[in-house]
Every structure is written in structure tokens, then in C-alpha cells.
Amino acid sequence: MAQHFFITGTDTEVGKTYVTCALLRDLRRRGLPAVGYKPLACGDRGDARAMQAASDPSLPLDVINPIYLRAATAPYVAAQLENRCISPAELAEGYRRICGAGSPVLVEGAGGWEVPIAPGYSIADFAAELGLPVVLVVGNKLGAVNHALLSIAAIRARGLELRALVLNHAGVSWDTAAVTNRRLLEEFAGVTMAAELICGQDDIDSAAVLGI
């Protein structure tokens, strides 16, 4: 039975799409017909287009990203600005649809773990409904340890498996926090870092991260 995965991050702009696309490319290089699913895009569809290119360019963009909202803010707010209400059932239906297009499927969330989607419904609720193993992308910067430990606790509180941590360093400069974050995270989370990407690195060992 094919395994699918949920990719989330400690915050927005920590490199979720960057890591997701790297995983998709490596999976397909290994002969696995992996596809990406970006249920929600706010502001623009650049991330969804990147996932389309990294997986199967023939897949319609609306299959990879069924809900696009123009405002670059939380999906709940962006939908209100367009007088829309995001339906959790629509997100789940999109997931079922893309599962027929390839495997494994990498589902990428929006922003961090608890980002609101609809009244009383968040990214975490959607991830819990899918019940997939979670990959947490950590932006390697000051404050990352706190954000990561809180996210890990929240993921586990939902009864979900934390499959892997990926540390992503988006900048070219290194400070004390960036140098020590990996050691602290491994010590306090009790998890070995599955991958660490330096700025500009676009390859990743998908087997080490996903375990498949």
C-alpha cells in the first residue's frame, strides 16, 4: 500500500515548498510516480506551479491546487475577503482525486501548523483528518527551536506520527543560532534530523526523510 505524507512548517516562508519539491524530484528520480498536492494557495500560485513542475507537469494546476485565494494572508481571512467559505470536504475531495494521479502524494499545508482555514477549522484539523505521517520543515534561524518544539508537541497531540524533521537554511550567513539549532532540536525533541539543507541546496535523500 502506498504511503502519503503531510508536509508542514514551523512558520510561513521556512521552505516547505522548497523541501517538498526536492523530495518530489528525488522520489521520481528513484522511479516513484510522486505527485504534490497544495490544497490552498494564498497570494499567488507560484508554489503550486513549482510542485507541478517537480512532479507531473501534465497534471492540471487545479488538481494540484484546487483552492486559490488572491490575498497573501491566512486562508480563512483570504476567503472572507472574497466572500467565500472554504469547505473541508472540498479539500478532502481534492486529496482523493490526486491520489489517483500518482503515488506517493506529498500534501503541503499553508503557513504553520495551526493556521485557520474556516470557522473552527485549521490546517491541523485537515492533517488530522487525513491521518498521514508528518514531515516538519524547520527554518534554521533564531527562534527555530521554540517554534519547532511547540509544533512537534502539537503534531503528537493530534495522535499523528512525526516522520521526520528537515532543517532548512534559507540565508547565506550563519549565526550562533543557525549553527547550534540542529544539536538543540535533536536533544530536546529526541529526534534525529533527517536532512539539513544549506542555502541553494536543491537535492535531498527522500528515502532518509520519508522512510520509503
The CA-atom distances, in angstroms, between 197 and each of 137, 167, 171, 210 are 10, 6, 11, 15
Half-sphere exposure of 96 (CA within 13 A, CB side): 7
- Choosing from 38, 147, 169, 182, the catalytic residue is 38
Answer yes or no: 38 catalytic.
yes
Strand locations in the chain, DSSP E? 5-9, 35-37, 40-42, 67-69, 105-108, 116-118, 121-122, 134-139, 162-168, 195-197
Cα–chain center distance at 186: 20
Amino acid at the residue 175:
D
HSE value, Cβ hemisphere, 13 Å, CA-based, for 139: 18
Q: Which residues are catalytic?
A: 38
